[in-house]
Structure 1
């Protein structure tokens, strides 16, 4: 899956990004931001597992059901790694995830797919936007946390699977493309709004993003970050055979 270039690709690592967890976590505000970040990621992975398991019920063939079950298993493994890491840094995993549960649950409630194809587009578009956002943030994290975040963002195979199935469906019935394009635009807007609400509600995370913690983003960089995420979304839509 294509992802946007991050700041880490363009410059040598400095500040917190050049430190390990033991060094960086001496700053209590940074530690709080990382716990928030890992909590949000962990609940997101747990939600992805649940959603893929539900989507498997809509799958038209046994092979499709098996493929989604395999992806769901990978998402749950990611969740377990994040939960274990939270415990290792002496954060209670359920407490770390709880602040993000309502917003993520509401996002999924508002964007419940009506059929198999909408479910595939949601996983491809929505999960990819979230992954892009977390990869951007990862560029400013300590080395230990960065490595974990990037590892759990590894593509489970859903991207190529979704592209193959959606493109085949559009080729078989071109009118499907218009409906799915509208659906993907809605998902993009909901995903960005949900991400902004989550960050705004968490002081440590928002401070890190706008530059209050060492090497966090400044406001101009936040704008560039969302431009990169939007550009990547446009490329993914083209890969699906849909207009952005």
Structure 2
């Protein structure tokens, strides 16, 4: 994994911003810093004009995090999981109940609300994992591979739900290895490698600005090369 080195990045309110790069490029390090999990050794950043050193509690209230690993309790039901995570964000009473029902319904899971998570398929768990991170309507949402390992139907449901969140005011920062998905989903993209930003712009601008590129995958290969990035 590379440390981040000498770059400036600005993500505007309302964007769906893709952070793309090979394994070990620095994406996880960057997301961990922006979520307040890792403290940078140098440099600085702010979210909504606030820094973690001065506004940690306020920032925790306005950000949402959906990790690649399932952050769920397998022996609890979907409703119990979401009620627990919603209460952690300060939701309660009818507001919490209605939010859980609305989200489960939108993602096609309402009829499974009282089934244990351990009985769910991978796509169902991925959708519940997403809901758990956004019940509090975050202003900024960090997503790590939100559609990895799911069927096409689950992927489409997740993308539609994320677009709805974005339309309602949530800025999304998203990492993925699915370049075709990123090309269609993201409004803006930064391509990272070896801890540095190699390119940044809209998908169409990146494609048009790369000689011979027909899609985002062509841009990605042109910038990062064909070498395998296996690591132990």
- Which TM-score bucket, shorter chain as reference? 0.3 to 0.5
Q: Higher strand proportion, which one?
A: 2
